[in-house]
Amino acid sequence: MNSVPADGPDPVRAEITLTVNGSEHRLGIDTRASLLDTLREDLGLTGAKKGCDHGQCGACTVLLDGRRVNACLALAVAHDGADVVTVEGLARDGRPTRLQEAFLAHDALQCGYCTPGQLCSATAVLDELGRGLPSAATPDPAAEPVPDDAEIRERMSGNLCRCGAYAGIVAAVREAARA
Amino acid sequence: MTDRLEGWEKVTGAARYAYEYPLENVAYLAAVQATVARGEILAVDAEAALGMPGVLAVLSGGNAPRLAPVDDGELAVLQSRRVAYRGQFVAAVIAETPETAAEAARHVRVEYAPEAADVLLRADHEGLYAPEKVNGGFPADTESGDPDAAFAASAVRVDATYTTPAEHNNPMEPHTTVALWEDDGTLVLYDSNQGPSAVQSTLAEVFGLEPAQVRVISEHVGGGFGSKGTPRPNVVLAAMAARVTGRPVKFAVPRRQMWATTGYRTPTIQRVRLGAGLDGRLDAVIHEVVAQTSAVREFAEQAAVPARMMYRAANRRTRHRIVRLDVPSPSWMRAPGETPGMFALESAMDELAVLTGVDPVELRVRNDAPEDPESGLPFSSRNLVACLREGAARFGWDARDPRPGVRREGRTLLGTGVAAATYPASTRPGEAVARAEPDGTFTVRVAAADIGTGARTALAVIAADALKTDLGKVRMEIGDSRLPRAVVAGGSAGTSSWGTAVVRACEALLVRLNGEIPPEGVEARASTADEVRSRQKYARHAFGAHFAEVAVDLDTGEVRVPRMLGVFAAGRIINPKAARSQFVGGMTMGIGMALLEESIMDEAFGDHVNRDLAQYHVPTCADIRKIDAVWVPEADPHLNPMGAKGIGEIGIVGAAAAIANAVHHATGARFRDLPITPARVLAEL
């Protein structure tokens, strides 16, 4: 660990544009900065959480150009011009989404730290199901996937919840998928 | 069925956790960990790091502020040249950005004089000793009757050794502190913990301040499971860094650094001996536990304590021995003591059921204790039998064929298992303030912490009941050390302790209210110290029963849990909605304990090797199938004004044993070492 040369140049900075929750931001960033740290530290959007910083827990899940990604694994500089939706951008005009309502109704959260990632992930799951994309749990990949519990569990398994709210999360996603 | 009061904030991202308070001029900390498991720090070379643009300071033993010594040696951060375990904090970089801090931390060169390290727990370790007390303040050893003679004379004997591995709490929010010193010398800590009052008093001691000079804000906490129950080194380090730099300093312990620095459940080696008659009635219970602690802090996991009160037996012995190893300090993890201890005891009970041919539910009913076997005290309430009966009926237990290894569907073996659960129902002294506002609403204040338990909501429900008003009129203020002093969210004592103070404050307020409320409001404060200390003596415990179904894959050895039911007797359930989540959450962690969780100690490096969530597996969504928790009605007048027992921990107690017992029923093989991994199962199939 002591073999890294220390006499390198100053941190390299870059300018990027991000559209986050519908607002455009021009940002000067350190090229080493993750999208997650950029959202949290530069834009003050702390809804996306840092649980592991290694793409292993899913707490930082956001929608990047419509797809769910771990924001901790995305370098901000690589996403100039991207459209990002965080948990703060899910509800419009203070009106909760079906998923947010269902999470509250089914107590699909406890400490709440994984919840923003769960919600962004579940938002993408509904979209993926709607587009007929199969998962490892889809019995027939050629057929339309059915949002049953096995499908939901498989698709939500990239988002860890240590409080153990999975039963409520599956119930909430099921309800939102069928609404 | 009350929704969480902070639910909307949590589903919209508005809830602020420790790292997330908007502050000006913040600096970022990255810590450097020891790369040897034992030895002496010879030199710390910070030159390269300090030369990097944006680096503000490098702290190490040579220049760190001197701290007052406290009981927990883990908090003597950067105070000694000694390295007590691999991964201990030995230096820290404070920089303008998180990227620079992390980069510079890699350039701090630390030179060590390493020494041979002793990191593996063994039942025959020459350093084993009897601690003065085990966690919870219990004696290390107890004995009554003549357990050895009774065991030797018993018609049926179980004598087995069970092991549980090191397990890490892994709350989703890392241990996090944002520290700043105000001009008047006040230390402000936005901190992720299970009790702001405890962090306040400990940090005041460490920095030589009056408690009033330390303010701890912990409005939302992303889980703790015991690991945030005592201040960890991160909060001390952040406070030191803020003092040295004169800037607010942010430090969230990286997930990989949490393994060494934020506590874990000690591995255990437990020998259980049960002596019984042919009818399964116990005559001897002997439970002997070996566990580890560190060189800087004594922590003695009280794993044999539940064997003192669980079942009736005239002859009994419990014993705890621990050894100081060159390892990170173990600490609280969800139901310390009961969780590993009841895995062993309830596995042994299942072995006794198999040997005697007595049904496992019936065996536990038969050995139910009418009063606390050790103290002779009456139980304030004990509804273990009701839990077992209710669970058996709901689960369809009566139709169970007891023969092991005979239910095969394709390439899958099926089985079911049961285990009992228990956890103490404690209440500790504390304070609360209730206030009537001129607009007809009420504000209730207590320095409680809601770490995901639903405490904020439960306390509001309790206050509304006591004030005879609507829930919507009660504003709860928690999570700040400036509020009335409160115990930590730990030992399943939070709601009971805080709730008692809240009820008394509300009652006192009602007495003061007559007619119009003046513009300045009316306030009443309560302290429960006298009430709690003068309570009548009872053995106070919650009880439960777990029923699990497993499916074991004959080709891969993988164990799945298609169905699990927990039935609990925990007094009055204050908010059924959040309570169910607490029980099921504990059971979910129990599935992890049974099948997945293990931190593996590498003898060569003297450290846990699987230090992240890709290698240390906690249950995922796909691991949890049909799972439910219910409770039996229980009116207990000897607890607290709510009649409630704590429910944060009992959900995990016994869960792993129920699964292990079900795996035996499925396969005919007995797994006494956790976790029950595919490799272990395949070897027995």
CATH top-level class for B431-533?
alpha beta
pLDDT for residue A93:
85
Asked, as a colleague might, if the bond just before B675 is cis with ω within 30 of 0, I would say yes
Contact residues on chain B for A75, CB-CB shorter than 8 A: none
| A-B contacts (CB, under 8 Å) | 200
Q: Which of B15, B53, B577 sits opposite A112 (nearest CB)?
A: B15
Contact residues on chain B for A6, CB-CB shorter than 8 A: 48-49, 51-52, 107
Region of residue B515 (phi > 0: left; psi between -120 and 50: alpha; otherwise: beta): left
pLDDT bracket for residue B515 (50, 70, 90): confident
pLDDT for residue B406:
97
The alpha-carbon gap from B258 to the nearest alpha carbon of chain A, in Å, equals 10
The alpha-carbon gap from A130 to the nearest alpha carbon of chain B, in Å, equals 21
Q: Which of A86, A157, A167 sits opposite B584 (nearest CB)?
A: A167
pLDDT for residue A4:
46
Same topology for domains B133-167+265-425+538-684 and B431-533, yes or no? Answer: yes
Q: Which of A115, A164, A167 sits opposite B11 (nearest CB)?
A: A115
Alpha-carbon Rg for chain B in angstroms: 26
pLDDT for residue A7:
53
In the stretch 73-92 of chain A, residues with CB closer than 8 A to chain B read: 86-88, 90-91
- In a mutational test of the A interface, the residue from B2, B10, B11, B334 whose CB has the highest number of chain A CBs within 10 Å is B11
Q: What is the percentage of chain A residues whose pLDDT exceeds 70?
A: 95
Global ipTM: 0.97
- In a mutational test of the A interface, the residue from B167, B218, B597, B621 whose CB has the highest number of chain A CBs within 10 Å is B621
CATH top-level class for A13-89?
alpha beta
Residue B603 CB neighbour total at 10 angstroms: 11
A95 part of contact set with chain B, CB < 8 Å: no
Q: For residues B639 and B66, what is the distance between their CA atoms, to the nearest angstrom? A: 44
**Average pLDDT, integer, range B624-635:** 98
User: What residue of A is the nearest CA neighbor of B220?
Assistant: A111
pLDDT for residue B1:
83
The first and second tokens of residue B89, run together, are 């904090």
User: pLDDT tens, A57-89?
Assistant: 999 999 999 999 999 999 999 999 999 999 999
User: pLDDT tens, B525-566?
Assistant: 999 999 999 999 999 999 999 999 999 999 999 999 999 999
The alpha-carbon gap from A176 to the nearest alpha carbon of chain B, in Å, equals 15
Q: For residues B515 and B526, what is the distance between their CA atoms, to the nearest angstrom? A: 22
The alpha-carbon gap from B514 to the nearest alpha carbon of chain A, in Å, equals 38
The first and second tokens of residue B585, run together, are 């959450």
User: What residue of B is the nearest CA neighbor of A104?
Assistant: B7
Say if the Cβ atoms of B621 and A169 lie within 8 Å: yes
Say if the Cβ atoms of A111 and B172 lie within 8 Å: yes
A130 part of contact set with chain B, CB < 8 Å: no
- List the CATH code of the domain at B7-116+170-261: 3.90.1170.50
User: What residue of B is the nearest CA neighbor of A166?
Assistant: B621
Say if the Cβ atoms of B221 and A111 lie within 8 Å: yes
Say if the Cβ atoms of A162 and B53 lie within 8 Å: no
* Residues of B taking part in catalysis: 649
The alpha-carbon gap from A59 to the nearest alpha carbon of chain B, in Å, equals 8
A170: exposed, middle or buried (Cβ count in 10 Å: 0-12, 13-18, 19+): buried
CATH superfamily of A98-178: [2Fe-2S]-binding domain (1.10.150.120)
For B89, B116, B163, B241, B546, the CA distances from B128, given in Å and listed in that order, are: 27, 18, 17, 38, 34
**Average pLDDT, integer, range A22-38:** 97
User: What residue of B is the nearest CA neighbor of A57?
Assistant: B613
Q: Kindly tell me if the per-residue pLDDT of A5 is higher than 90.
A: no
pLDDT bracket for residue A9 (50, 70, 90): low
A153 part of contact set with chain B, CB < 8 Å: yes
Instruction: Give the HSE-up count for residue A56: Cα atoms under 13 Å, Cβ half-sphere.
Output: 19
pLDDT bracket for residue A3 (50, 70, 90): very low
For B28, B85, B211, the CA distances from B238, given in Å and listed in that order, are: 9, 20, 18
Helix/strand/coil for B275: strand
**Average pLDDT, integer, range B237-262:** 98
A44 part of contact set with chain B, CB < 8 Å: yes
User: pLDDT tens, A118-143?
Assistant: 999 999 999 999 999 999 999 999 99
pLDDT bracket for residue B514 (50, 70, 90): confident
Q: Which of B107, B453, B577 sits opposite A107 (nearest CB)?
A: B577
Say if the Cβ atoms of B628 and A88 lie within 8 Å: no
Residue B684, φ and ψ in degrees, nearest 5: -105, -10
Q: For residues B360 and B658, what is the distance between their CA atoms, to the nearest angstrom? A: 11
DSSP 8-class letter at A42: I
Tracing tokens 């990227």 back to the chain, one arrives at: B99
Q: For residues A6 and A82, what is the distance between their CA atoms, to the nearest angstrom? A: 33
The alpha-carbon gap from B584 to the nearest alpha carbon of chain A, in Å, equals 7
A81: exposed, middle or buried (Cβ count in 10 Å: 0-12, 13-18, 19+): exposed
Q: For residues B187 and B203, what is the distance between their CA atoms, to the nearest angstrom? A: 9
Contact residues on chain B for A161, CB-CB shorter than 8 A: 172, 621
**Average pLDDT, integer, range B92-103:** 97
The alpha-carbon gap from A131 to the nearest alpha carbon of chain B, in Å, equals 22
Helices H, strands E: what count in chain B?
A: 16, 28
DSSP 8-class letter at B491: T
User: pLDDT tens, B289-334?
Assistant: 999 999 999 999 999 999 999 999 999 999 999 999 999 999 999 9
Domain boundaries, chain A: 13-89, 98-178
Q: For residues B49 and B118, what is the distance between their CA atoms, to the nearest angstrom? A: 32
Sign of torsion over alpha carbons A115, A120, A123, A124: negative
Helix/strand/coil for B449: coil
pLDDT bracket for residue A2 (50, 70, 90): very low
pLDDT bracket for residue A11 (50, 70, 90): confident
B512: exposed, middle or buried (Cβ count in 10 Å: 0-12, 13-18, 19+): exposed
Contact residues on chain B for A59, CB-CB shorter than 8 A: 172
Same topology for domains A13-89 and A98-178, yes or no? Answer: no
Q: Kindly tell me if the per-residue pLDDT of A41 is higher than 60.
A: yes
pLDDT for residue A8:
54
User: What residue of B is the nearest CA neighbor of A112?
Assistant: B10
pLDDT for residue B362:
98
Tell me the pLDDT of chain B averaged across its residues: 97
User: pLDDT tens, B133-158?
Assistant: 999 999 999 999 999 999 999 999 99
User: pLDDT tens, B189-205?
Assistant: 999 999 999 999 999 99
Q: For residues B97 and A34, what is the distance between their CA atoms, to the nearest angstrom? A: 12
Say if the Cβ atoms of B17 and A113 lie within 8 Å: yes
Say if the Cβ atoms of A107 and B618 lie within 8 Å: no
- In a mutational test of the B interface, the residue from A3, A30, A63, A107 whose CB has the highest number of chain B CBs within 10 Å is A107
Q: Choose which CATH entry (3.30.365.10, 2.170.190.11, 3.90.1150.10, 3.30.70.270) describes domain B133-167+265-425+538-684.
A: 3.30.365.10
